[in-house]
Amino acid sequence: MTDSKINSMLMKLPDETGKGDVMAATSVLQQKANEIRNNSINWQSYLQSQMIGDDDYRFITEFLSSDGSKRDTLLEEQRGQCAKTFLSLLEHISKDQTVQYILTIMDDMLQEDMNRVEIIREYAKKKRENVWSPFLNLLNRPDGFIQNMTSRIIAKLACWSRDPMEGSDLTFYLTWLKDQLQMPGNEYVQTTARCLQMMLRDEKYRLVFAGMGGVSVLANILSGRINFQIQYQLSFCLWVMTFSIQLVEQMNKHKIIPILGDILNDSVKDKVTRIILAVFRNMIEKPEDAAMIKENCVAMVQAKVLKQLSILQQHKFDDEDIMADIEFLTEKLQASIQDLSSFDEYSTEVKAGRLEWSPVHKSERFWRENAPRLTEKNYELLKMLVHLLETSRDTLVLAVASYDIGEFVRHYPRGKSIIEQLGGKQMVMQLLAHEDSNVRYEALLAVQKLMVHNWEYLGKQLKKDPASESSSTGVKTKG
């Protein structure tokens, strides 16, 4: 499928923001919008105080009293007046309650017919004005409802209009969405995520979002405690991003596969399961680089996706796409296991940041044959191990990473100096004071390997009397 066909397909996805949608009906924004629609605004008082002109008063009162075909006719005959009135009201009226009402009926107008976004675009073009400025300014208002209803309107204009959002306007809006997603206790987070779902359907927008660290933000939020609706919406964002092949590599860097694997394993909602399987399928199907495809398959196996697929195969899903994705992924992951080398397994484990005592770590043969490979790609895996020692809070990860550092030093001639240059020696020494006894023990062994040159002698001593190491340092030996 060509890029233009993919883009066209994504832009035609069902719009979930309609009033009949379950998510929209239960979001905080829509609940408040339902209340606001029932408000009565005294437009006569605004006219008498000269805050609005006669033409704006006539249009807004006629617009609100019309519906169906009568409203269609009004908007067709008075396109310019429609845009002028809405923009003028937003500019001249400052009362929050009235601004909330104007934005709500404006959003409803666009929701009824997506082609109406051109009414606003044409007016701005004719006046040689920036179509985005009036709305971007409203994002700075302190009222949360005003901000988020404005955001919905901006997303519609950006996604449905002939002229895309560009430059500093686009950067400002996407940055605002990114910040809102990360804002603690944001009651409008569903609306923020929905706007992002719309925007990221467009490749130009998703590349800009990714360029400002968007993948990292989505990864961080998805790895935290969030409800299933946000899991679904942000996984949807990742799914549309997988249609841009260059972004799949970014997803690997931010450990999207293990994060989504955890959600999949715990998921009780079919729509969350469906969208995560679709992400995984694209991460195998879309890349052209065979090495990346293999890496993604191995990462999925490591994240226990294959085990979850076998469980899902026992379920009866009405959705044929889910069953097709389960079969596709099962076939690909099982095939990947057949050619899986011990180094592939080790490399994926390190990149996922989820070290455990899998057989490769304690295999003498593995280290003898593969220690030099840890220096490939400018010491990529070694840097990751050192980073885990510095940042991980998982005691198992710290213990295994310390052990691996020691084994690398023991089996690679220049290992000691390389680890020192990468800051690994300092990290391991800090772990000598760690509260966990296993971490202290593995750190001690690693430090000894960094210090001692006669490995054969050290090995004999450790085998001969491991308890003496424990008593001298106050730590327990591994069982």
Asked if residue 52 and residue 77 are part of one domain, the reply reads yes
Lowest mean pLDDT among 182-191, 225-234, 457-466: 457-466
- Of the three residues 300, 317, 340, the one that is the final residue of a domain is 340
Closest CA to 114 of 59, 65, 68, 162: 162
What is residue 7's three-state secondary structure? helix
Asked if residue 425 and residue 394 are part of one domain, the reply reads yes
Residue range 72-99, pLDDT digits in tens: 999 989 999 999 999 999 999 999 999 9
| Both tokens assigned to 347 | 């490399």
Asked if residue 366 and residue 271 are part of one domain, the reply reads no
pLDDT for res 295: 87
Rg value, the chain, Cα = 29
Asked if residue 329 and residue 230 are part of one domain, the reply reads yes
Asked if residue 435 and residue 449 are part of one domain, the reply reads yes
Residue 93 has what DSSP assignment? Answer: -
Asked if residue 364 and residue 242 are part of one domain, the reply reads no
- Of the three residues 340, 366, 385, the one that is the final residue of a domain is 340
Burial of 23 by CB count in 10 Å (0-12 exposed, 13-18 middle, 19+ buried)? Answer: middle
pLDDT for res 6: 58
116-149 b/e (C-beta count within 10 Å ≥ 16 → b): bbbbbbbbbeeeeeebbebbbebbeeeebbbbbb
Alpha-carbon span 305 to 264, nearest angstrom? 8
Residues 6+ apart with CB under 8 A from 388: 350, 353, 355, 397, 398, 401
Residue range 20-45, pLDDT digits in tens: 344 444 689 999 999 999 998 999 99
User: Is it the case that residue 473 has pLDDT exceeding 50?
Assistant: no
Overall average pLDDT of the 340-367 stretch: 86
Asked if residue 401 and residue 437 are part of one domain, the reply reads yes
User: Is it the case that residue 120 has pLDDT exceeding 90?
Assistant: yes
pLDDT for res 298: 87
pLDDT for res 446: 94
Is residue 181 a part of any domain in this protein?
Answer: yes
User: Is it the case that residue 320 has pLDDT exceeding 90?
Assistant: no
Considering the chain, what is the average pLDDT of its residues?
88
Residue range 333-349, pLDDT digits in tens: 988 877 777 888 898 88
Instruction: Supply the CATH number for residue 157's domain.
Output: 1.25.10
Is residue 358 a part of any domain in this protein?
Answer: yes
User: Is it the case that residue 479 has pLDDT exceeding 60?
Assistant: no
- Of the three residues 154, 179, 212, the one that is the final residue of a domain is 212
Residue in the structure block whose two tokens are 């050290």: 458
Is residue 468 a part of any domain in this protein?
Answer: no
Is residue 464 a part of any domain in this protein?
Answer: no
pLDDT for res 315: 84
Asked if residue 410 and residue 313 are part of one domain, the reply reads no
Q: How confident is the model at residue 462 (pLDDT cuts 50, 70, 90)?
A: low
Asked if residue 170 and residue 29 are part of one domain, the reply reads yes
Count of the separate structural domains present in the chain: 3
User: Is it the case that residue 7 has pLDDT exceeding 70?
Assistant: no
pLDDT for res 228: 93
Asked if residue 199 and residue 76 are part of one domain, the reply reads yes
Note down the domain range covering 44.
Answer: 21-212
Residue 361 has what DSSP assignment? Answer: G
Alpha-carbon span 17 to 363, nearest angstrom? 55
Overall average pLDDT of the 251-267 stretch: 91
Instruction: Supply the CATH number for residue 361's domain.
Output: 1.25.40.150
pLDDT for res 316: 79
C-alpha distance from residue 65 to each of 18, 39, 74, 116, 385 (Å): 22, 14, 11, 19, 67
Q: How far apart are the first and last CA of the chain?
A: 55
Residue range 281-308, pLDDT digits in tens: 999 999 988 889 988 998 898 888 988 9
pLDDT for res 93: 92
Residue in the structure block whose two tokens are 């009235």: 98
Alpha-carbon span 60 to 62, nearest angstrom? 5
Is residue 298 a part of any domain in this protein?
Answer: yes
Closest CA to 392 of 434, 420, 341: 434
Element (H, E) at 80: helix 79-92
Asked if residue 369 and residue 248 are part of one domain, the reply reads no
Residue range 371-416, pLDDT digits in tens: 999 999 999 999 999 999 999 999 999 999 999 999 999 999 999 9
Is residue 105 a part of any domain in this protein?
Answer: yes
Asked if residue 411 and residue 325 are part of one domain, the reply reads no
Alpha-carbon span 289 to 347, nearest angstrom? 17
